Amino acid sequence: MDHNCLLCGNRIEDSYSLLEIIFLMKEELIICQPCQKKFKRVDQKHCPACFKSGSAKLCHDCIEWNKKGYEVKHSAMFKYNDYMKAYFSTYKFQGDYLLRKVFAKPLLKAVRKDYKECVLVPIPVSPERTEIRGFNQVTAILEVAGCQFLPMISKVENEHQSHRNKV
């Protein structure tokens, strides 16, 4: 069954192998190959604290955060390039709910591999922000990926993250 890419709108033509037909295991393609290639995986050589590409040692930003008494510790699967910025802009700020599916498969794979003993607790958005966007973008991705999570904390309205400085 042919359909259109959720990002660029170009037609995606499905092709099936014999095994996919016999075992009914064909996955629905959400985005086309050219769009998939624009999302770049994080390099093998990256900062161990923030996953910034370039060096396997702590980057300058993480060293500065550590000096201020803050420990940076997170992981990333993809680089935050211009294409990723455009994706998040469309998903979060324009409320394109269908885009929650784009990273569902790699997210579930990473959770099963690296966080199987962890409880996922999404950082919530305020009720006002949820109303404006029409959905909570974090829980929407977790739900479509099939990741179990516990909404254990609530949000107090303050300055938006996108308006803050890095350091």
pTM (two decimals): 0.77
- Could you tell me the residue range of the domain that residue 26 belongs to? 1-38
162 in any annotated domain: no
What integer pLDDT is reported at residue 129 of this predicted model? 84
**Residues 104 and 151 occupy one common structural domain:** yes
Total number of domains in the chain: 3
**DSSP helix/strand/coil, 12:** strand
**Residues 105 and 71 occupy one common structural domain:** no
| CB-facing half-sphere around the CA of 51: CA atoms within 13 A | 12
What integer pLDDT is reported at residue 55 of this predicted model? 86
**Residues 122 and 145 occupy one common structural domain:** yes
Q: How far apart are the first and last CA of the chain?
A: 48
**Residues 109 and 145 occupy one common structural domain:** yes
167 in any annotated domain: no
**Residues 16 and 29 occupy one common structural domain:** yes
**Residues 26 and 56 occupy one common structural domain:** no
What integer pLDDT is reported at residue 29 of this predicted model? 78
134 in any annotated domain: yes
**DSSP helix/strand/coil, 11:** strand
What integer pLDDT is reported at residue 77 of this predicted model? 94
**Residues 54 and 24 occupy one common structural domain:** no
Question: What's the CA gap between 108 and 71, in Å, rounded?
Answer: 26
Residue ranges in the chain whose pLDDT is less than 70: 1-2, 15-27, 157-167
**Residues 107 and 149 occupy one common structural domain:** yes
What integer pLDDT is reported at residue 131 of this predicted model? 87
What integer pLDDT is reported at residue 3 of this predicted model? 83
What integer pLDDT is reported at residue 12 of this predicted model? 85
**Residues 7 and 48 occupy one common structural domain:** no
